[in-house]
Amino acid sequence: MPISILMPALSPTMEKGNLARWLKKEGDRIKSGDVLAEIETDKATMEVEAVDEGTLAKIIVPEGTADVPVNDLIALIAGEGEDAAAIAAGGTAAPAAKVTPATPTPATPQAPSPAPAPAPAASPLNGHGAGEAAPRLFASPLARRIAKESGVELTLIQGSGPRGRIVERDVKAALAAGTAKPAAAPAAAQEARAPMPAPAPSPAPGGMSDETIKKFFPVGSYEEIPHDNMRKTIARRLVEAKQTIPHFYLTVDCALDALLALREQVNATAAKEKDGTPSFKTSVNDFIIKALAMALIRVPDANVTWTAGAMLKHKHADVGVAVSIPGGLITPVIRAADTKTLSTISNEMKDYAARARARKLKPEEYQGGTAAVSNLGMFGIKNFSAVINPPHATILAVGAGEQRVIVKDGQPSVATLMSVTLSTDHRAVDGALGAKLISAFKDLVESPMGMLV
Protein backbone atom coordinates (compact mmCIF):
# COMPACT_ATOMS: atom_id res chain seq x y z
CA MET A 1 0.00 0.00 0.00
CA PRO A 2 1.24 3.56 -0.64
CA ILE A 3 3.25 5.37 2.01
CA SER A 4 1.97 8.75 3.17
CA ILE A 5 4.61 11.41 3.83
CA LEU A 6 3.36 13.89 6.44
CA MET A 7 4.55 17.38 7.30
CA PRO A 8 7.13 16.75 10.04
CA ALA A 9 7.38 18.50 13.40
CA LEU A 10 10.89 19.95 13.37
CA SER A 11 10.61 21.19 16.95
CA PRO A 12 8.34 20.47 19.93
CA THR A 13 6.50 23.80 19.49
CA MET A 14 6.12 23.74 15.70
CA GLU A 15 2.50 23.82 14.48
CA LYS A 16 3.07 24.66 10.82
CA GLY A 17 5.85 25.39 8.35
CA ASN A 18 6.53 26.47 4.78
CA LEU A 19 7.29 23.81 2.16
CA ALA A 20 10.08 25.79 0.49
CA ARG A 21 11.36 23.36 -2.15
CA TRP A 22 11.02 19.78 -3.36
CA LEU A 23 14.39 18.16 -4.07
CA LYS A 24 12.76 15.12 -5.70
CA LYS A 25 10.14 15.06 -8.45
CA GLU A 26 7.28 12.71 -9.17
CA GLY A 27 8.55 9.43 -10.61
CA ASP A 28 11.95 9.60 -8.86
CA ARG A 29 13.20 6.53 -7.03
CA ILE A 30 13.50 7.15 -3.30
CA LYS A 31 15.94 5.46 -0.94
CA SER A 32 15.93 5.66 2.83
CA GLY A 33 17.97 8.73 3.80
CA ASP A 34 17.36 10.65 0.57
CA VAL A 35 16.61 14.33 1.10
CA LEU A 36 13.05 14.93 -0.12
CA ALA A 37 12.38 18.59 0.56
CA GLU A 38 13.36 21.75 2.40
CA ILE A 39 11.03 22.99 5.15
CA GLU A 40 11.18 26.54 6.51
CA THR A 41 10.20 27.15 10.13
CA ASP A 42 10.13 30.50 11.89
CA LYS A 43 13.80 30.07 12.84
CA ALA A 44 15.59 27.91 10.27
CA THR A 45 15.50 25.97 7.00
CA MET A 46 15.70 22.20 7.46
CA GLU A 47 16.18 19.30 5.05
CA VAL A 48 13.71 16.42 5.32
CA GLU A 49 14.82 12.84 4.72
CA ALA A 50 12.84 9.83 3.50
CA VAL A 51 12.43 6.90 5.88
CA ASP A 52 11.08 4.33 3.39
CA GLU A 53 12.09 3.24 -0.12
CA GLY A 54 9.95 3.37 -3.24
CA THR A 55 8.90 5.80 -5.98
CA LEU A 56 7.67 9.33 -5.35
CA ALA A 57 4.22 8.83 -6.85
CA LYS A 58 2.43 12.06 -5.99
CA ILE A 59 3.39 15.47 -4.57
CA ILE A 60 0.32 16.68 -2.71
CA VAL A 61 1.62 20.03 -1.42
CA PRO A 62 3.54 22.02 -4.07
CA GLU A 63 6.75 23.83 -3.22
CA GLY A 64 6.32 27.41 -2.09
CA THR A 65 3.23 26.56 -0.01
CA ALA A 66 3.16 28.49 3.27
CA ASP A 67 1.73 27.52 6.65
CA VAL A 68 1.36 23.78 6.07
CA PRO A 69 0.10 22.26 9.36
CA VAL A 70 2.17 19.56 11.04
CA ASN A 71 0.97 16.02 10.18
CA ASP A 72 -0.75 17.15 6.97
CA LEU A 73 -0.24 14.85 3.97
CA ILE A 74 2.41 16.31 1.64
CA ALA A 75 3.32 13.39 -0.66
CA LEU A 76 2.73 9.72 -1.48
CA ILE A 77 5.41 7.08 -2.10
CA ALA A 78 4.62 3.90 -4.02
CA GLY A 79 6.14 0.87 -2.36
CA GLU A 80 7.87 -2.07 -4.03
CA GLY A 81 5.62 -3.61 -6.72
CA GLU A 82 2.99 -0.85 -6.54
CA ASP A 83 1.81 1.14 -9.55
CA ALA A 84 3.01 4.72 -9.00
CA ALA A 85 0.84 6.03 -11.86
CA ALA A 86 -2.31 4.51 -10.34
CA ILE A 87 -1.47 6.01 -6.95
CA ALA A 88 -0.82 9.41 -8.55
CA ALA A 89 -4.17 9.23 -10.34
CA GLY A 90 -5.82 8.53 -6.99
CA GLY A 91 -4.62 11.92 -5.69
CA THR A 92 -4.84 12.45 -1.97
CA ALA A 93 -7.11 9.50 -1.31
CA ALA A 94 -4.88 7.57 1.02
CA PRO A 95 -7.01 6.59 4.01
CA ALA A 96 -5.54 3.10 3.90
CA ALA A 97 -2.01 4.23 3.14
CA LYS A 98 0.84 3.44 5.46
CA VAL A 99 1.61 6.71 7.24
CA THR A 100 5.28 7.67 7.57
CA PRO A 101 6.23 11.10 8.87
CA ALA A 102 9.17 12.65 7.04
CA THR A 103 12.35 12.88 9.07
CA PRO A 104 14.34 16.12 9.52
CA THR A 105 18.03 15.73 8.70
CA PRO A 106 19.36 16.96 12.10
CA ALA A 107 18.93 14.27 14.75
CA THR A 108 16.58 16.27 16.96
CA PRO A 109 14.06 14.93 19.47
CA GLN A 110 10.67 14.93 17.83
CA ALA A 111 7.40 15.37 19.61
CA PRO A 112 5.19 12.33 19.05
CA SER A 113 2.19 12.85 16.80
CA PRO A 114 -0.84 13.63 18.96
CA ALA A 115 -3.17 10.67 19.30
CA PRO A 116 -6.79 11.21 18.24
CA ALA A 117 -8.85 12.48 21.13
CA PRO A 118 -11.24 9.96 22.69
CA ALA A 119 -14.88 10.21 21.79
CA PRO A 120 -16.75 12.68 24.01
CA ALA A 121 -18.94 11.20 26.71
CA ALA A 122 -22.64 10.93 25.89
CA SER A 123 -24.33 14.20 26.85
CA PRO A 124 -26.77 16.76 25.46
CA LEU A 125 -23.73 18.75 24.27
CA ASN A 126 -22.72 16.22 21.62
CA GLY A 127 -26.23 15.32 20.60
CA HIS A 128 -26.24 11.72 21.87
CA GLY A 129 -28.45 10.24 24.54
CA ALA A 130 -27.28 8.17 27.45
CA GLY A 131 -27.78 4.95 25.49
CA GLU A 132 -25.88 6.05 22.34
CA ALA A 133 -22.15 6.01 21.73
CA ALA A 134 -20.75 9.24 20.29
CA PRO A 135 -18.90 8.83 16.97
CA ARG A 136 -15.13 8.99 17.14
CA LEU A 137 -13.86 12.41 16.09
CA PHE A 138 -10.41 12.98 14.57
CA ALA A 139 -9.11 16.54 14.93
CA SER A 140 -5.74 18.17 15.50
CA PRO A 141 -5.10 19.85 18.88
CA LEU A 142 -4.94 23.27 17.17
CA ALA A 143 -8.26 22.69 15.42
CA ARG A 144 -9.86 21.68 18.73
CA ARG A 145 -8.51 24.78 20.45
CA ILE A 146 -9.80 27.14 17.74
CA ALA A 147 -13.19 25.41 17.76
CA LYS A 148 -13.41 25.69 21.55
CA GLU A 149 -12.45 29.37 21.53
CA SER A 150 -14.90 30.11 18.71
CA GLY A 151 -17.70 28.10 20.32
CA VAL A 152 -18.36 25.82 17.36
CA GLU A 153 -19.23 22.13 17.12
CA LEU A 154 -16.52 20.03 15.49
CA THR A 155 -19.01 17.35 14.48
CA LEU A 156 -20.49 19.83 11.98
CA ILE A 157 -17.14 20.30 10.17
CA GLN A 158 -15.84 18.10 7.35
CA GLY A 159 -12.14 17.26 7.79
CA SER A 160 -9.68 17.57 4.89
CA GLY A 161 -6.60 16.12 6.64
CA PRO A 162 -5.29 12.55 6.44
CA ARG A 163 -8.07 10.01 7.09
CA GLY A 164 -10.65 12.80 7.39
CA ARG A 165 -8.81 14.50 10.26
CA ILE A 166 -10.13 18.01 11.01
CA VAL A 167 -7.28 20.53 10.84
CA GLU A 168 -6.95 24.25 11.46
CA ARG A 169 -7.94 25.35 7.94
CA ASP A 170 -11.18 23.33 8.11
CA VAL A 171 -12.32 25.16 11.25
CA LYS A 172 -11.39 28.56 9.81
CA ALA A 173 -13.11 27.79 6.52
CA ALA A 174 -16.29 26.74 8.35
CA LEU A 175 -16.23 29.92 10.42
CA ALA A 176 -15.71 32.08 7.33
CA ALA A 177 -18.56 30.34 5.49
CA GLY A 178 -20.87 30.61 8.49
CA THR A 179 -21.62 26.88 8.44
CA ALA A 180 -20.15 26.15 11.89
CA LYS A 181 -23.00 26.51 14.33
CA PRO A 182 -22.27 27.46 17.96
CA ALA A 183 -22.16 24.49 20.29
CA ALA A 184 -25.43 24.28 22.17
CA ALA A 185 -25.30 24.73 25.94
CA PRO A 186 -26.90 22.02 28.11
CA ALA A 187 -30.65 22.47 28.35
CA ALA A 188 -30.61 22.21 32.14
CA ALA A 189 -28.00 24.93 32.39
CA GLN A 190 -30.02 27.17 30.05
CA GLU A 191 -33.17 26.75 32.16
CA ALA A 192 -31.33 27.41 35.43
CA ARG A 193 -29.69 30.56 34.10
CA ALA A 194 -31.63 33.75 34.71
CA PRO A 195 -32.13 36.01 31.67
CA MET A 196 -29.36 38.60 31.46
CA PRO A 197 -28.86 41.54 29.12
CA ALA A 198 -26.40 40.93 26.30
CA PRO A 199 -22.97 42.29 27.26
CA ALA A 200 -21.51 45.13 25.25
CA PRO A 201 -18.96 43.97 22.69
CA SER A 202 -15.39 44.12 24.00
CA PRO A 203 -12.12 44.49 22.06
CA ALA A 204 -10.36 41.32 20.93
CA PRO A 205 -7.52 40.13 23.21
CA GLY A 206 -5.01 41.31 20.62
CA GLY A 207 -6.32 44.92 20.72
CA MET A 208 -7.85 46.81 17.83
CA SER A 209 -8.69 44.93 14.65
CA ASP A 210 -6.67 45.43 11.47
CA GLU A 211 -9.50 47.37 9.83
CA THR A 212 -9.86 49.70 12.83
CA ILE A 213 -6.14 50.49 12.79
CA LYS A 214 -6.09 51.11 9.03
CA LYS A 215 -8.84 53.72 9.38
CA PHE A 216 -6.36 56.02 11.17
CA PHE A 217 -4.26 56.34 8.00
CA PRO A 218 -5.23 57.61 4.53
CA VAL A 219 -5.58 54.93 1.85
CA GLY A 220 -2.39 54.74 -0.18
CA SER A 221 -0.21 56.31 2.53
CA TYR A 222 1.28 52.99 3.61
CA GLU A 223 2.50 49.65 2.27
CA GLU A 224 1.24 46.39 3.78
CA ILE A 225 4.02 43.88 4.45
CA PRO A 226 2.55 40.53 5.60
CA HIS A 227 4.12 39.01 8.73
CA ASP A 228 6.39 36.04 8.10
CA ASN A 229 6.48 33.03 10.42
CA MET A 230 9.40 34.43 12.45
CA ARG A 231 7.66 37.74 13.18
CA LYS A 232 4.42 35.93 14.11
CA THR A 233 6.30 33.65 16.51
CA ILE A 234 8.22 36.54 18.09
CA ALA A 235 4.97 38.46 18.59
CA ARG A 236 3.20 35.47 20.12
CA ARG A 237 6.05 34.61 22.50
CA LEU A 238 6.57 38.19 23.65
CA VAL A 239 2.87 38.64 24.43
CA GLU A 240 2.90 35.29 26.23
CA ALA A 241 6.00 36.28 28.22
CA LYS A 242 4.64 39.65 29.35
CA GLN A 243 1.20 38.24 30.17
CA THR A 244 2.31 35.12 32.04
CA ILE A 245 5.69 36.01 33.60
CA PRO A 246 5.82 38.55 36.47
CA HIS A 247 8.92 40.55 35.47
CA PHE A 248 11.14 42.13 38.13
CA TYR A 249 14.10 44.37 37.27
CA LEU A 250 17.48 45.04 38.93
CA THR A 251 20.12 47.45 37.57
CA VAL A 252 23.80 47.92 38.48
CA ASP A 253 26.82 49.68 36.96
CA CYS A 254 29.93 47.57 36.37
CA ALA A 255 33.45 48.96 36.03
CA LEU A 256 35.04 47.58 32.84
CA ASP A 257 38.62 48.84 33.02
CA ALA A 258 40.12 45.63 34.44
CA LEU A 259 38.12 43.49 32.01
CA LEU A 260 39.23 45.54 28.99
CA ALA A 261 42.87 45.24 30.03
CA LEU A 262 42.56 41.47 30.56
CA ARG A 263 40.83 41.07 27.19
CA GLU A 264 43.82 42.63 25.43
CA GLN A 265 46.18 40.23 27.24
CA VAL A 266 44.02 37.19 26.44
CA ASN A 267 43.78 38.10 22.74
CA ALA A 268 47.54 38.65 22.60
CA THR A 269 48.08 35.01 23.61
CA ALA A 270 46.04 33.62 20.66
CA ALA A 271 48.01 31.25 18.44
CA LYS A 272 48.24 32.06 14.73
CA GLU A 273 46.54 29.98 12.07
CA LYS A 274 48.34 29.02 8.84
CA ASP A 275 47.04 32.14 7.13
CA GLY A 276 48.34 34.32 9.96
CA THR A 277 44.96 35.08 11.55
CA PRO A 278 44.55 34.56 15.30
CA SER A 279 42.81 31.33 16.39
CA PHE A 280 40.38 33.40 18.47
CA LYS A 281 39.54 36.98 19.33
CA THR A 282 37.44 37.44 22.43
CA SER A 283 34.89 40.24 22.72
CA VAL A 284 33.46 41.96 25.77
CA ASN A 285 30.28 39.98 25.11
CA ASP A 286 32.22 36.70 25.48
CA PHE A 287 33.34 37.81 28.95
CA ILE A 288 29.74 38.76 29.79
CA ILE A 289 28.46 35.30 28.77
CA LYS A 290 31.13 33.62 30.89
CA ALA A 291 30.49 35.93 33.86
CA LEU A 292 26.73 35.29 33.82
CA ALA A 293 27.28 31.53 33.57
CA MET A 294 29.69 31.51 36.52
CA ALA A 295 27.39 33.78 38.53
CA LEU A 296 24.54 31.30 38.02
CA ILE A 297 26.75 28.51 39.38
CA ARG A 298 27.81 30.65 42.36
CA VAL A 299 24.13 31.42 43.09
CA PRO A 300 22.58 28.01 42.24
CA ASP A 301 19.11 28.91 43.52
CA ALA A 302 18.88 31.41 40.65
CA ASN A 303 19.92 28.84 38.02
CA VAL A 304 16.37 27.52 37.77
CA THR A 305 13.33 27.15 35.55
CA TRP A 306 9.78 27.62 36.80
CA THR A 307 7.13 24.99 36.10
CA ALA A 308 3.65 24.80 37.62
CA GLY A 309 4.54 21.65 39.54
CA ALA A 310 8.18 22.12 40.52
CA MET A 311 11.31 24.23 40.24
CA LEU A 312 13.92 22.81 37.85
CA LYS A 313 17.35 23.45 39.37
CA HIS A 314 20.05 23.10 36.72
CA LYS A 315 23.51 21.60 37.14
CA HIS A 316 25.10 23.72 34.40
CA ALA A 317 24.50 27.22 33.06
CA ASP A 318 23.26 27.14 29.45
CA VAL A 319 23.31 30.77 28.36
CA GLY A 320 21.30 31.97 25.36
CA VAL A 321 22.59 34.98 23.44
CA ALA A 322 20.22 37.17 21.43
CA VAL A 323 21.43 37.52 17.82
CA SER A 324 19.79 39.95 15.40
CA ILE A 325 18.97 38.43 12.01
CA PRO A 326 16.96 39.78 9.05
CA GLY A 327 13.32 39.96 10.07
CA GLY A 328 13.79 39.31 13.79
CA LEU A 329 16.13 37.64 16.23
CA ILE A 330 17.17 34.21 17.47
CA THR A 331 18.84 33.05 20.67
CA PRO A 332 21.50 30.36 20.15
CA VAL A 333 22.54 28.69 23.40
CA ILE A 334 26.09 28.23 24.70
CA ARG A 335 25.71 24.92 26.58
CA ALA A 336 27.51 24.55 29.92
CA ALA A 337 29.10 27.98 29.44
CA ASP A 338 30.35 27.83 33.02
CA THR A 339 32.79 25.03 32.03
CA LYS A 340 34.08 26.54 28.77
CA THR A 341 37.08 28.77 28.16
CA LEU A 342 36.66 32.28 26.82
CA SER A 343 38.26 31.26 23.51
CA THR A 344 35.78 28.38 23.11
CA ILE A 345 32.82 30.65 23.87
CA SER A 346 34.17 33.21 21.40
CA ASN A 347 34.52 30.72 18.55
CA GLU A 348 31.13 29.11 19.26
CA MET A 349 29.42 32.52 19.18
CA LYS A 350 31.04 33.46 15.87
CA ASP A 351 29.86 30.17 14.34
CA TYR A 352 26.35 30.49 15.78
CA ALA A 353 25.97 34.11 14.65
CA ALA A 354 27.03 33.29 11.08
CA ARG A 355 24.72 30.28 10.79
CA ALA A 356 21.87 32.13 12.52
CA ARG A 357 21.93 34.86 9.86
CA ALA A 358 21.85 32.15 7.18
CA ARG A 359 18.99 30.42 9.09
CA LYS A 360 21.03 27.22 9.32
CA LEU A 361 20.89 26.63 13.08
CA LYS A 362 19.53 23.29 14.29
CA PRO A 363 16.62 23.37 16.78
CA GLU A 364 18.76 21.96 19.58
CA GLU A 365 21.16 24.90 19.11
CA TYR A 366 18.57 27.59 19.89
CA GLN A 367 15.98 25.88 22.10
CA GLY A 368 16.11 25.63 25.89
CA GLY A 369 18.74 27.30 28.04
CA THR A 370 18.62 28.54 31.62
CA ALA A 371 19.26 32.28 31.14
CA ALA A 372 20.04 34.74 28.36
CA VAL A 373 22.08 37.81 27.43
CA SER A 374 20.82 40.66 25.24
CA ASN A 375 23.56 43.16 24.40
CA LEU A 376 22.70 46.46 22.70
CA GLY A 377 25.87 48.22 23.80
CA MET A 378 27.27 48.22 20.26
CA PHE A 379 24.36 50.47 19.26
CA GLY A 380 25.21 53.02 21.95
CA ILE A 381 22.25 52.07 24.16
CA LYS A 382 23.04 53.02 27.75
CA ASN A 383 20.34 51.06 29.58
CA PHE A 384 17.26 48.94 28.80
CA SER A 385 15.11 46.16 30.22
CA ALA A 386 14.81 42.91 28.24
CA VAL A 387 11.79 40.60 28.03
CA ILE A 388 12.37 37.11 29.46
CA ASN A 389 12.48 34.35 26.86
CA PRO A 390 10.61 31.27 28.20
CA PRO A 391 11.64 28.83 29.64
CA HIS A 392 14.39 31.07 31.06
CA ALA A 393 13.97 32.63 34.50
CA THR A 394 16.40 35.50 33.86
CA ILE A 395 17.78 37.67 31.07
CA LEU A 396 20.60 40.20 31.33
CA ALA A 397 20.26 43.42 29.30
CA VAL A 398 23.69 44.93 28.60
CA GLY A 399 24.29 48.58 27.74
CA ALA A 400 27.31 50.37 26.28
CA GLY A 401 30.56 50.79 28.14
CA GLU A 402 31.34 54.50 28.46
CA GLN A 403 33.68 56.71 30.41
CA ARG A 404 31.99 58.44 33.33
CA VAL A 405 33.15 60.58 36.21
CA ILE A 406 32.88 58.71 39.51
CA VAL A 407 33.95 59.39 43.08
CA LYS A 408 36.82 57.14 44.20
CA ASP A 409 38.49 57.51 47.58
CA GLY A 410 36.69 60.82 48.02
CA GLN A 411 38.06 62.22 44.76
CA PRO A 412 36.52 62.51 41.28
CA SER A 413 38.03 60.15 38.72
CA VAL A 414 37.19 58.72 35.32
CA ALA A 415 36.19 55.05 34.86
CA THR A 416 34.65 52.95 32.08
CA LEU A 417 31.23 51.85 33.29
CA MET A 418 28.60 49.56 31.80
CA SER A 419 24.98 49.52 32.98
CA VAL A 420 23.28 46.12 33.09
CA THR A 421 19.69 45.27 33.99
CA LEU A 422 18.65 41.80 35.13
CA SER A 423 15.04 40.84 34.36
CA THR A 424 13.85 37.98 36.54
CA ASP A 425 10.77 35.77 36.68
CA HIS A 426 9.65 36.75 40.17
CA ARG A 427 8.01 33.35 40.68
CA ALA A 428 11.43 31.69 40.47
CA VAL A 429 13.96 34.43 41.30
CA ASP A 430 12.68 37.02 43.74
CA GLY A 431 14.26 40.37 44.61
CA ALA A 432 16.87 39.26 47.15
CA LEU A 433 17.94 36.24 45.10
CA GLY A 434 18.15 38.33 41.94
CA ALA A 435 20.29 40.86 43.83
CA LYS A 436 22.72 38.09 44.81
CA LEU A 437 22.94 36.94 41.20
CA ILE A 438 23.61 40.35 39.71
CA SER A 439 26.11 41.11 42.50
CA ALA A 440 28.00 37.89 41.67
CA PHE A 441 28.01 38.94 38.01
CA LYS A 442 29.33 42.41 38.90
CA ASP A 443 32.12 40.90 41.03
CA LEU A 444 33.26 38.68 38.15
CA VAL A 445 33.21 41.54 35.63
CA GLU A 446 35.16 43.86 37.91
CA SER A 447 37.64 41.13 38.97
CA PRO A 448 37.80 39.20 35.68
CA MET A 449 40.80 37.03 36.55
CA GLY A 450 38.28 34.87 38.41
CA MET A 451 36.96 33.74 35.02
CA LEU A 452 40.34 32.28 34.04
CA VAL A 453 40.84 29.98 37.02
Residues tagged active-site: 426
Q: What angle do CA 243, 248, 249 make, to 5 degrees?
A: 130
3 state DSSP class of 225: coil
Q: Is the Cβ–Cβ distance between 307 and 442 less than 8 Å?
A: no
CA–CA gap between residue 453 and residue 339 (Å, rounded): 11
CA–CA gap between residue 190 and residue 261 (Å, rounded): 75
CA–CA gap between residue 76 and residue 56 (Å, rounded): 6
End-to-end CA distance of the chain: 63
DSSP 341-390: -HHHHHHHHHHHHHHHHTT---HHHHS--SEEEEE-GGGT-----PPP-T
Q: Is the Cβ–Cβ distance between 48 and 35 less than 8 Å?
A: yes
**Hey, what amino acid is at 389?**
N
CA–CA gap between residue 271 and residue 281 (Å, rounded): 10
Helices assigned H by DSSP within 151-228? 168-177, 187-192, 210-214
